[in-house]
Amino acid sequence: MIYLTLFLTFFKIGLFTLGGGYAMIPLIQAEVIDRHGWMTLEQFAEFVGIAESTPGPFAVNISTFCGVTTAGFLGSLCATAGVVLPSVIIILLIASMANRVLNHWSTKSALQGAKPAVVGLLAVAAFSLAGHAFFKGEGELNLTALLLAAGLFTLVRVFKLGAITLILCGAAAGVALQLCGLSF
């Protein structure tokens, strides 16, 4: 039963989320933490970091991690298939009638209207994860994490670093801070 639940949960997430993997974060969080209790917020935040650091699409990585921790290897297959299948179906349908659908006024209007919703979902995810990253247990500000994030943000804005370089810089800084006795 858990396999079907994993598949249907991630199928719903894949079907009703526009805007890619990041826009899925609030819905995944609501489903796996609040509704099903498959993981804690701390585990989820760690999985988001791992999913970002590993190759492949974010949605596939996060669903695979969730599935494997919830129900093992078969659970990861069910969750991953669930999140991918809606996109495959939609892409096949769109490809079969691409010119008619994409140039139709209703499609253009729907996509234009969905943009603000996607931005809102991304903002919710960013604030939720930032709160977890920048505050320790009792609401105490994590100054080390805040300074590291500010430094990495500066590197992106000034030197236009890519995601891979940024992740490597963040990982190196984390290791260096740990070696110096500073913790998050």
110/158 same-domain check: no
13/71 same-domain check: yes
Q: What are phi and psi of 141, to 5 degrees?
A: -65, 130
Average pLDDT over residues 41-56: 86
Per-residue pLDDT, 76: 95
Q: Mean pLDDT score of the chain, rounded to an integer?
A: 87
User: Could you report the per-residue pLDDT of 89-137, keeping only the tens digit for each?
Assistant: 988 888 888 777 778 888 889 889 988 988 888 888 888 888 888 887 7
Lowest mean pLDDT among 7-16, 91-100, 145-154: 91-100
Instruction: Quote the number of domains for the chain.
Output: 2
Average pLDDT over residues 153-170: 89
15/70 same-domain check: yes
100/142 same-domain check: no
97/36 same-domain check: yes
Per-residue pLDDT, 184: 66
Highest mean pLDDT among 7-11, 129-133, 156-160, 179-183: 7-11
In a domain, 129, yes or no: no
Please give the model's pTM, rounded to 2 decimal places.
Answer: 0.61
Domain boundary among 83, 115, 147: 115
83/25 same-domain check: yes
Q: Which residues does residue 88 pair with via DSSP β-bridges, in sequence order?
A: none
Average pLDDT over residues 160-177: 88
Name residue, tokens 């209703």: 106
In a domain, 125, yes or no: no
In a domain, 124, yes or no: no
Domain range holding 56? Answer: 2-115
In a domain, 122, yes or no: no
Average pLDDT over residues 26-54: 88
In a domain, 71, yes or no: yes
144/178 same-domain check: yes
In a domain, 161, yes or no: yes
* Residue predicted with more confidence, 24 or 89: 89
In a domain, 121, yes or no: no
**DSSP readout, 62-99?**
HHHHHHHHHHHHHHHHHHHHHHHHHHHHHHHHHHHTHH
110/148 same-domain check: no
Q: Has residue 150 got a pLDDT over 80?
A: yes
In a domain, 128, yes or no: no
